[in-house]
Structure 1
């Protein structure tokens, strides 16, 4: 079987593997709440878990998030397999979102919580993980794609 949207699958696989490797490293080398100061007061690795969505939203009763991540992941895979050929920005964007959704979804199915560790203290930002980064970068890629190859009003009128 020949896959279309090859960069989608590559981006998804790379982001999922990187997310899994970093979370595994954190779980094996840190205790919950333990911090490694990389740039004191600015950037740390801090091992925390999150039972909710981004920024601990829905942390009470967020079990439905595992099913949401599964539905999103299956939907993205079906879209890549049976939908149109995406441009490069769309392929990378959707692939990164899939990798992030799978990374956090696997955490939720296995342990009921997500491993977070990236801690920017300079701006007092909530602790997050690479899956969150990939999802956000994927969204940025899709925004870039939305501005690519759009016909101008003159081109539309002459067709």
Structure 2
């Protein structure tokens, strides 16, 4: 199972880097290509910050945070991921995404973003494959944690009712 996880992380990193490479080589910064009118554009953008452009120019902060996050993910992947794909898969998506953007920060001093979307007139921040993997991974992890908490509450509720019926 672990080899599958690491191969998936490598695939995410490769897809991320390949798409970013194409944008860097074939597009000027700021250039935009309309793919679906009023909805989806390919826009060459560089982000020196984190999600939604926060913490612009804080590269050392991102280097340190990424190393810590990657170490924590690998630890948790080996501890919990081998027993549950519902934990392993989200962790691998986060791992691949974090490393994909880390490579950009090291190579370019900024993250290469290019997916530019508009929803009902709202311009969503431009993102990339690594960002998508991160968001999906975090979302799946939140769903897993909420599901586990719901199951635990349901189990304890039914367990306490069973005790009450036996005693009363």
TM over 0.5: yes
Equivalent residues of 2:59, 2:105 under 8 A apart: no
Structure-1-length-normalised TM-score: 0.85
Q: Cα distance, 1:142 vs. partner?
A: 1.1
Gaps of 5+ in 2: 163-168
The structure whose RCO (Cα within 8 Å, separation 6+) is larger is: 1
Structure-2-length-normalised TM-score: 0.81
Q: CA 1:156–1:88 in 2, change beyond 3 Å: closer, same or farther? A: farther
Q: CA 1:89–1:59 in 2, change beyond 3 Å: closer, same or farther? A: same
Q: Cα distance, 1:141 vs. partner?
A: 1.5
Q: How does 1:1-159 map to 2 (within 5 A)?
A: 4-81=1-78, 83-84=79-80, 85-122=82-119, 123-146=122-145, 147-148=147-148, 150-151=151-152, 152-153=155-156, 154-155=158-159
The structure 1 segments of at least 4 consecutive aligned residues displaced by more than 4 Å after TM superposition are: 155-158
Across the two proteins, how many residue pairs are aligned to each other?
A: 154
Aligned-pair Cα RMSD in Å: 2.2
Gaps of 5+ in 1: none
- Please tell me whether Structure 1 or Structure 2 has the larger radius of gyration of its CA atoms: 2
2:56 partner SS: coil
Superposed CA deviations along residues 11-30 of structure 1, whole A, max 9, x for unmatched, are 32221111111111111111
